[in-house]
């Protein structure tokens, strides 16, 4: 249940695939591995090439967020990794709130500028400064 909800909320948190932060990629690698995943599955679901998936796997393995089970030839999230995912979800929630507030502030600034300057004269004033 946690995996399905996390992957759904993670996958649809943005409109289009864009430049991802390292922490977002790490969270995605962990989310894909919650129920166990082979390297190729992680690579495909995280949209990483072979070199990058190896690099990110090295990070999450060395930090204790992920473990490799050689008997199953799969990667699994550790309890520390699950705590990371919970913290990451909270981080994303706060980030969305801040981004929404910033958008409102920028819209208010634009309205104030429109009150002071006709549409075409803003560029003229900035160019003369």
Q: What is the CATH number of the domain that holds 44?
A: 1.10.10.10
Instruction: State both tokens at 108.
Output: 């208010």
Q: Who has greater pLDDT, 74 or 14?
A: 74
What is the chain's mean pLDDT, rounded?
Answer: 85
In this predicted structure, the answer to whether residue 27 has a pLDDT above a threshold of 50 is: yes
Instruction: Taking residues 51-71, report their average pLDDT.
Output: 97
Query: If pLDDT is split at 50, 70 and 90, which confidence band does 19 have?
Result: confident
Alpha carbons within 13 A on the beta-carbon side of 88? 23
Residue 15 falls inside a structural domain: yes
Q: What is the dihedral of CA 96, 101, 103, 105, to 10 degrees?
A: -160
* Structural domain boundaries, residue 71: 2-99
Quick one: which of 1, 3, 13, 14 has its CA closest to 85?
A: 3
pLDDT reported for residue 78 = 97
pLDDT digits (tens, 9 = 90+) for 79-106: 999 999 999 999 999 999 999 999 999 9
In the chain, what is the straight-line distance between the N-terminal and C-terminal CA atoms, in Å? 58
**Does residue 69 fall inside a structural domain?**
yes
Nearest to 6 by CA among 64, 74, 65, 86: 86
Q: Tell whether 77 is covered by a domain.
A: yes
105 assigned to some structural domain: no
Higher model confidence: residue 20 or residue 12? 20
Residue 38 lies in a domain: yes
Domains identified in the chain, total number: 1
Do the domain assignments include residue 125? no
Residue 37 within a domain: yes
Q: Does the residue 113 lie in any domain? A: no
pTM for the full predicted model: 0.71
Q: Which two tokens stand for residue 85?
A: 């995912």
């Amino acid at each position: 249940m946690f995996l399905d909800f996390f992957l759904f909320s993670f996958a649809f948190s943005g409109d289009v695939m864009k430049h991802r932060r390292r922490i977002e990629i790490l969270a995605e690698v962990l989310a894909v591995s919650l129920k166990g995943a082979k390297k190729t599955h992680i690579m495909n679901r995280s949209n990483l090439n072979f070199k990058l998936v190896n690099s990110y796997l090295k990070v999450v393995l060395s930090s204790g967020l992920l473990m490799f089970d050689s008997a199953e030839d799969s990667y699994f999230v550790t309890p520390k990794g699950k705590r990371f995912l919970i913290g990451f979800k909270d981080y994303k929630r706060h980030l969305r709130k801040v981004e929404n507030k910033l958008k409102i502030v920028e819209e208010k600034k634009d309205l104030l500028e429109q009150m002071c300057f006709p549409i075409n004269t803003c560029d003229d004033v900035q160019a003369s400064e």
